[in-house]
């Protein structure tokens, strides 16, 4: 059958197998960005009959995913992460439909705007104070502390559950599950996502090693889910203010609703436990590499807040440089470089190109260092520089494009946790900079400059790095150690 229009341009494939050989298996965004340079805003490949559309500009992403959101809000069935490992009921992998609307409505009601977030501010403040204490005690375990705090915040908000200081069993298993979720849904990592029939191959079959991994990862998810059910039953009984207690209060749920409440709470955890970690960790990296930025931020905090107390959300509107620094962190370190894949639920003709129903739609948020959407030199001057001033209204020059309109995705699938993410990143940045000096580490008289590189996976993290974190003064130590009742 003849197509109504040509497909968007892209690398030429082979008969029958199409572009199998062109598909990247790791850091897919690097390959996609090369296609972007060669073929323009929208490129196309076909792998064994599956059409893949890559969007390499904000304009293309807005035109398709925002303006035509009734066509482009579905998700493809991901055989590896969804079916074999078992994440298919998590919101990020859910098809567009009633279940999707149920999760989104509830999440939106509870954390969908800044005003709704007010109620959770004390939780953020308590947990971020704990973060400062942990960093002060063991600065070399920075990334683990940030991860612990993100998990603690999301668990309190989801269930009212308070994590243990060390080796909390839920956090330990959930961390493993999050890492496996990110790897199992990594764009291009598993051919079984393109050829679902491979799932029927026995584990011993050559090339079916993914089945062993899937079995192991499924066990982690099951372990996490049973801990999670326990948390839910506790939330139902004790009912402090939490997402789950809000949904459960005074209601008898049908089996289906019960399943939906459990999975919407787990979706919050799976969306929120690993993402903000990447941004906050990248801020420590940026402060190590760009000491002038750190100095300016501290000058602003000292002038507005002083040194006798820690900053709080009440100071937010008076700290424009910190606001710009948080935006810059979201631009500089791209947390979800290829977002989460959308899927076309109808045939479409866009800009004269044919996009068939069932096409996978991927947006490429960066190419490593010479980046696209968030690092496009036409949108952002000197994209590899960490420079918050690009977002300030300087000398009558317009600020550069707000990255929060890009990095949280598009259309009806836009990240529902963006206000929570924004609050967590802002508070940990401002509190940390109020009390710590972050700098390059000196070992045996040699100063080490950390390398800027990121990991592969749906969620990308800065590669682990070393830095020195010291309290700014004796007053800062007192603030870190202070115990406050909320
Ligand atoms: C720096 C922090 C974060 C970034 C950069 C981020 C980014 C994203 C992106 C790009 C998507 C895909 C959007 C699309 O498909 O168009 C997404 C989806 C999602 N995010 Fe976030 N996110 C962050 C934090 C959070 C937090 C804190 C939560 C939960 C509290 C969360 C929950 C979710 C969920 C549940 C989805 C799936 C939405 C759906 O499929 O309908 N995220 N996020």
**Among 18, 54, 416, 64, which residue's Cα sits nearest to residue 243?**
416
Burial label for 15, CB within 10 Å (0-12, 13-18, 19+), is: exposed
Q: Could you identify the atom of ligand 1 that is nearest to the CA of residue 413?
A: 41
* Best probe residue, ligand 1, of 116, 150, 273, 275 (max atoms within 8 Å of C-beta): 275
Say how far apart CA 125 and CA 316 lie, in whole Å.
13
Cα of 414 vs centre of ligand 1, distance in Å, is 7
Q: Could you identify the atom of ligand 1 that is nearest to the CA of residue 411?
A: 16
In the structure, which protein residues have their CB atom closer than 6 angstroms to any atom of ligand 1? 91-92, 154, 267-268, 271-272, 275-276, 279, 335-336, 339-340, 342, 407-410, 413-417, 420-421
Say how far apart CA 298 and CA 282 lie, in whole Å.
18
Cα of 204 vs centre of ligand 1, distance in Å, is 36
Handedness of CA 404, 405, 406, 409 (dihedral sign): positive
* Best probe residue, ligand 1, of 417, 422, 460 (max atoms within 8 Å of C-beta): 417
- Count of Cβ atoms closer than 10 Å to residue 248 Cβ: 20
Which residue has its alpha carbon closest to ligand 1 atom 34? 271
Cα of 38 vs centre of ligand 1, distance in Å, is 30
Which residue has its alpha carbon closest to ligand 1 atom 33? 271
Q: Could you identify the atom of ligand 1 that is nearest to the CA of residue 421?
A: 27
Q: Could you identify the atom of ligand 1 that is nearest to the CA of residue 410?
A: 16
Cα of 1 vs centre of ligand 1, distance in Å, is 39
**Among 23, 22, 24, which residue's Cα sits nearest to residue 456?**
24
Say how far apart CA 290 and CA 387 lie, in whole Å.
9
Confidence check on the interface: ipTM exceeds 0.95, yes or no: yes
Q: What is the pLDDT of residue 461?
A: 92
481's enclosing H/E stretch is helix 474-481
* Best probe residue, ligand 1, of 271, 278, 338, 422 (max atoms within 8 Å of C-beta): 271
Cα of 352 vs centre of ligand 1, distance in Å, is 31
Which residue has its alpha carbon closest to ligand 1 atom 38? 92
How is the chain split into domains, by residue range?
A: 20-481
Chain-centroid distance of CA 51 in Å reads: 26
**Residues β-bridged to residue 438:** 469
Which residue has its alpha carbon closest to ligand 1 atom 26? 272
Q: What is the pLDDT of residue 38?
A: 85
- Pairing state of beta strands 50-55 and 360-363? parallel
Q: What is the pLDDT of residue 251?
A: 74
Q: Could you identify the atom of ligand 1 that is nearest to the CA of residue 93?
A: 40
Contact 8, 43 (CB under 8 A): yes
Chain-centroid distance of CA 228 in Å reads: 21
Cα of 484 vs centre of ligand 1, distance in Å, is 32
Contacts made by residues 23-26, CB under 8 angstroms, sequence distance 24+? 23/47, 23/52, 23/188, 23/194, 24/188, 25/188, 25/189, 26/186, 26/188, 26/189, 26/456
Cα of 408 vs centre of ligand 1, distance in Å, is 6
Strand locations in 240-359, DSSP E? 342-343, 348-350, 353-355
Angle ∠(136,138,125) on CA atoms, nearest 5: 45
Q: Report the first-to-last Cα separation within the chain, whole angstroms.
A: 67
Which residue has its alpha carbon closest to ligand 1 atom 21? 415
* Best probe residue, ligand 1, of 415, 457, 460 (max atoms within 8 Å of C-beta): 415
Cα of 214 vs centre of ligand 1, distance in Å, is 23
Cα of 339 vs centre of ligand 1, distance in Å, is 8
Is 415 annotated as belonging to a binding site?
yes
Contact 385, 293 (CB under 8 A): no
Q: What is the mean pLDDT, run by run of 10 residues, along the chain of 486 residues?
A: 90 76 72 80 87 88 94 94 95 94 90 82 93 97 94 86 80 87 85 86 84 95 82 60 74 84 88 92 97 98 97 96 96 87 95 95 60 62 85 79 88 94 96 98 93 82 96 97 82
Q: Which CATH code fits 20-481?
A: 1.10.630.10
Cα of 417 vs centre of ligand 1, distance in Å, is 6
* Best probe residue, ligand 1, of 102, 267, 408 (max atoms within 8 Å of C-beta): 408
Which residue has its alpha carbon closest to ligand 1 atom 16? 409
Which residue has its alpha carbon closest to ligand 1 atom 37? 92
Contact 400, 380 (CB under 8 A): yes
Cα of 296 vs centre of ligand 1, distance in Å, is 30
């Amino acid at each position: 059958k003849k197509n109504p229009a040509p497909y968007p341009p892209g690398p030429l494939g082979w008969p029958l197998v199409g572009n199998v050989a062109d598909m990247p298996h790791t850091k897919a965004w690097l390959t996609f960005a090369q296609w972007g340079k060669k073929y323009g805003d929208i490129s196309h490949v076909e792998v064994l009959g599956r059409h893949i559309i890559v969007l390499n500009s904000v304009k293309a992403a807005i035109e398709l995913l925002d303006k035509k959101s009734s066509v482009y809000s579905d998700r493809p069935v991901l055989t590896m992460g969804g079916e074999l490992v078992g994440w298919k009921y998590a919101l990020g992998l859910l098809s567009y439909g009633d279940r999707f609307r149920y999760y989104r409505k509830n999440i939106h009601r509870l954390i969908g705007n800044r005003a709704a977030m007010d109620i959770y501010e004390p939780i953020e403040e308590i947990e971020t104070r704990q973060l400062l204490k942990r960093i002060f005690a063991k600065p070399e375990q920075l990334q683990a502390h940030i991860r612990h705090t993100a998990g603690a915040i999301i668990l309190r908000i989801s269930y009212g559950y308070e994590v243990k200081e060390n080796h909390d069993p839920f956090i330990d298993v959930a961390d493993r599950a999050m890492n496996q979720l990110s790897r199992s849904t990594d764009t291009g990592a598993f051919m079984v996502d393109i050829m679902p029939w491979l799932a029927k191959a026995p584990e011993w079959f050559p090339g079916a090693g993914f089945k062993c991994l899937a079995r192991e990862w499924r066990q982690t998810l099951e372990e996490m889910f049973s801990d999670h059910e326990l948390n839910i039953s506790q939330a139902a009984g004790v009912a402090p203010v939490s997402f789950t207690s809000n949904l459960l209060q005074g209601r008898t749920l049908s089996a289906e609703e019960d399943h939906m409440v459990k999975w919407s709470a787990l979706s919050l955890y799976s969306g929120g436990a690993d993402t903000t970690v990447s941004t906050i960790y990248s801020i420590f990296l940026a402060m190590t590499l760009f000491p002038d930025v750190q100095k300016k931020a501290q000058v602003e905090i000292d002038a507005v807040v002083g040194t006798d107390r820690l900053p709080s959300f009440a100071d937010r509107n008076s700290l424009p440089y910190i606001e710009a620094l948080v935006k810059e962190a979201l631009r500089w370190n791209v947390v979800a470089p290829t977002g989460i894949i959308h899927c076309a639920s109808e045939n479409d003709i866009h800009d004269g190109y044919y996009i068939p129903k069932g096409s996978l739609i991927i947006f490429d948020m960066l190419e490593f260092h010479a980046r696209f959407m968030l690092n496009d030199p036409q949108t952002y001057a000197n994209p590899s520089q960490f420079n918050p001033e690009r977002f300030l209204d300087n000398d009558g020059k317009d600020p550069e494009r707000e990255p929060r309109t890009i990095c949280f995705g598009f259309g009806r699938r836009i990240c529902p946790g963006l206000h929570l993410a924004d609050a967590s990143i802002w508070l940990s940045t401002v509190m940390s900079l109020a009390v710590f000096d972050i700098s390059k580490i000196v070992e045996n008289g040699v100063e080490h400059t950390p390398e800027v590189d990121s990991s592969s996976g749906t969620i990308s993290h800065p590669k682990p790095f070393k830095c020195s974190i010291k309290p700014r003064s004796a007053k800062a130590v007192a603030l870190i150690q202070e115990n406050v009742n909320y």
